[in-house]
A and B are shown apart, each in its own frame.
Chain A
Amino acid sequence: MKRFSSLLIALVACSGLVSPAMAADTIKLGVAGPHSGDLAPYGIPAMKAAQLVVKKVNANGGVLGKQVELLIQDDQCKPEIATNTATKLITQGAQIVLGHICSGATKAAMGIYKDAGIPVMSPSATSTDLTQSGDYPNFFRTIASDDMQAKLAVDFAIEKLGAKRVAVLHDKGDYGKGFAEFARKFLDESGKVEVVLFEGVTPGAMDYSSIIQKVRREKADVLIFGGYHPEASKLVAQMKRKRMKIAFLSDDGVKDASFIKVAGAAAEGAYMTGPRDLSSNPLNAAATAEFKAAYGEDPGAFFHEGYAAALALLNAVEQAGSTEYAAVTKALQTKYVETPVGKIKFDAKGDAEGVGFSVYQVEGGQFKELK
C-alpha cells in the first residue's frame, strides 16, 4: 500500500500537478505509549505533550525549515504489542521516536529501533537496564532511573522513618520488581536494616489479606512496594482494614491521581518517590499553562517529561542539521537544551544529566513534596 501510494504520488508529480517535494519533506516524530487500557493515564499526557510541542514548533517554522509530522501509535504497555508498534512506526517513516512509556514495552521495542537506526527517548521508562546494560545504545530518557529512585526511598526509610525491619513487596513486573530488588540491595548494603520479607504479589488478585497478615507477623515497621497504583491502592486499603499502621513507601508508578482517587482515606500518609517538583521552573509553568489552555484540566503523569523529550529530540535534529542517527545522537549528548525538567543533556549511556527524584507524601488528598 505504501509503495503504491508513493508510486501514485510520483505519477501525479510527473504529470506536473503537484511539486515532487511535498510528500517527503516533513520530520516524522513517532509517539508510542499506552493510549488505551488501564495504563492509558501514563501514556496520554506524554502524547498530548508531543502534540503541543509540535504545534508550537510548526507554528514557528518547523525544524530545519520542515514541518514536523506526528505518528501516534498505541502499545497498551504490552511488550508483545510494542514490537508491532515499533515496526509500524518505522514503516510509516518515523525518524525519531518519543516513547515507549512502560519499561517492559520499551525493552521489547528497542531492538527494532536499533536495527532501523532510530534514536528513541522515553519520558517514563525507568528500568536501569535500558541505560546501564549497554544493550540499547539508541535509548535516551528524560526521567531518572529506578536505582536512583530506590536509593532515595531507602535513604528516606532509614533516615527519616527510622526503619529497622523492612518488608519489600512488588508486583512481579519489570518495573515493580526492578525497584524492589534495588531497594533490597541498598537496604542490605546499609547494614542498619533487616529485610524481613521480599515477595511478589499477583496483580489483579482478589485480595492481599494473606500477605498483609504476613507483613504483620514479620513485625515490619516499613512496607516498601514496587509497582503501580491499582495494587498499591488495594494494599493500603487492606492494611487499613487490618488495622495496620506501618509506613507505606512506594515508587513513581503509585504517584498518580488514581491512587488517591481509588484508595481514598487509606492513601493518607503514604509516601512515594516521584520526579522532583519543577513548578518553579518557568518553562515548566509555561508547559502546564499551555496544557490547561488546550484541555482545561491539569496535565497527568509524565507530561513534563514527555514535553522535555519532544523538545530535546527536535532540538537535537535542529542542531545536528539532519535526522541521521550518529549526528542526532551526538547532538543529544553534547548540546544542552532548556526543557520543563531543567537544562539537560544526555550522558553516554542515555540518562539525562540533571533530573532527579523527591519523596512525596499524600496529605489531604494531594501529593506533597517533602524537603
Chain B
Amino acid sequence: MEYFIELFLSGLTRGSIYALIALGYTMVYGIIQLINFAHGEIYMIGAFVAYIVCGVLTIYGFHGVSILIIAGLLAIVYSCAYGYTLEKVAYRPLRGAPRLSPLISAIGMSIFLQNYVLLAQTPDFLPFPALIPDFAFMEPIAHIIGSAELVILVTTMVTMVMLTLLIKYTKIGKAMRATQQDMSMARLVGVNVDRVISTTFIIGSALAAIGGVLVASYIGQVNFYIGFLAGVKAFTAAVLGGIGSIPGAVIGGLVLGLTESFAAGYVSSDYEDVFAFGLLVLILIMRPAGILGKATKQKV
C-alpha cells in the first residue's frame, strides 16, 4: 500500500508539471488553433534565467526561499517577455496564412531558441541549486514524499486555481473566452483580439516558467535540451485531455503522469513511454477529441 502511495504521489508531482506546461499549449491552441512547439523552450528558458539569477543572488548573500521567490519571479517576467516576443515575431505576421505556416514557424523558433541557449550559455549540464529547503516536519515521511514534491504540488494547485479565477471572473478572461468562441465576432463587438492573443501567450509562458523553475530545483540540473522532452510530454497531455480545453489539460497532465509512474513502478520503466503513448492512442480511438474535448464540426 505504501508503495502504491509513493508511486501515486510521484506520478502526481510529475503530472502536475506536465499539466502546467500543457496549459500553455492548450490555451494557445484554443484561441488561434496553433500548436506552439516553442513552448517547451520557454519552459527551459525559465529554468535558465532562474539558474543565472540564483548565481547572482547567492553572491549577494541571499538564501533559500528568498532566492526561490525572486528567481522565480524574474524567470516568469523573462519568460513572459520571450512568449510575447515569440508571438509578435513568429506568429502574428502569419495570422492570415494557411495553418501550416505558423506551425513551421513554431518548429523553427523551437530549434532557434534551443541553439541560442546552447551558444549563449553552454552545451553542458549545469547544477541547479536545491532552492526548496527540506522542511523538518516532512522528515518522517521524506522517503514517501519530499518537501520539494509537496511544494510542487501546492504551487501548481494554487497556480491553477488562480488561472481559473482569471479566466472566469476578469475582463481579460472574458475576452479570452469570447475570442476562443469566435474570433471575428469578438473583434466585431470590440474585443482587441491581438491583445487577447498576446495575453494568452504571456500567461502560458508564465505557467511554463513556474514549471521550469520547480522542476529544475527538484531534479537539480538544467540543460538547453530539457524543454524538448518536457514539451513533447506536455503536448501529449494537452491532446489527451482534449486540446483547447483548460480543465482537459490539467486532467491530461495528471493522467499521463500517473500512467508513467504506475507503468514504471508495476511493469517496467523500459515501458514507461510505451504505456504513456499507448494510452494516448487508446483514448484518441475512443474519444477522438480527447477526454474533455468537444468534437467540432469543420465547415468545408
Interface residues of A (CB under 8 A from B): 36-38, 40-41, 172, 199-202, 204-211, 213-214, 216-217, 229-230, 233-234, 237-238, 241-244, 258, 261-264, 266
Interface residues of B (CB under 8 A from A): 3, 6-7, 10-11, 13-14, 17, 123-127, 142-143, 146, 148-149, 215, 218-221, 223, 225-226, 228-230, 233, 260-262, 264-265, 268-270, 272-273
Interface contact A207-B123, CB-CB below 8 Å:
no
Could you tell me the distance in whole angstroms from the C-beta of B256 to the nearest C-beta in chain A?
11
Answer whether A199 and B261 are a contact pair too, CB < 8 Å, given A37-B123, A258-B125.
Answer: no
Distance, CA A38 to CA B225, complexed state (A): 9
- Taking CB atoms, residues of chain A closer than 8 Å to B268 are 199
Distance, CA A282 to CA B14, complexed state (A): 52
* Overall SS of chain A's interface: helix
A170's closest neighbor in chain B, by CB?
Answer: B270
Could you tell me the distance in whole angstroms from the C-beta of A256 to the nearest C-beta in chain B?
10
Interface contact B218-A230, CB-CB below 8 Å:
no
Answer whether A234 and B6 are a contact pair too, CB < 8 Å, given A206-B215, A211-B269.
Answer: no
Could you tell me the distance in whole angstroms from the C-beta of B199 to the nearest C-beta in chain A?
28
- Taking CB atoms, residues of chain A closer than 8 Å to B148 are 241
- Taking CB atoms, residues of chain A closer than 8 Å to B143 are 216, 242-244
Distance, CA A79 to CA B219, complexed state (A): 29
Distance, CA A329 to CA B260, complexed state (A): 50
Answer whether A242 and B146 are a contact pair too, CB < 8 Å, given A37-B123, A209-B13, A264-B220.
Answer: yes
Interface contact A206-B261, CB-CB below 8 Å:
no
Distance, CA A41 to CA B123, complexed state (A): 9
Interface contact A206-B146, CB-CB below 8 Å:
no
- Taking CB atoms, residues of chain A closer than 8 Å to B10 are 207, 209-210, 213
Interface contact A206-B264, CB-CB below 8 Å:
no
- Taking CB atoms, residues of chain B closer than 8 Å to A41 are 124
A244's closest neighbor in chain B, by CB?
Answer: B143
Interchain CB contact (< 8 A) of B125 among A199, A207, A230, A241: A230
Could you tell me the distance in whole angstroms from the C-beta of B118 to the nearest C-beta in chain A?
8
Interface contact A210-B265, CB-CB below 8 Å:
yes
Interface-centre pick from A229, A258, A266 (highest chain B CB count, 10 A): A258
- Taking CB atoms, residues of chain B closer than 8 Å to A261 are 127
Of the A-B pairs whose beta carbons lie under 8 Å apart in the complex, a sample of 24, sorted by A's number, is A38-B124, A40-B124, A202-B269, A202-B272, A205-B229, A206-B215, A206-B229, A207-B13, A209-B14, A210-B11, A210-B260, A210-B269, A213-B7, A214-B265, A214-B269, A233-B125, A237-B219, A237-B220, A241-B142, A241-B146, A242-B142, A242-B146, A261-B127, A262-B127
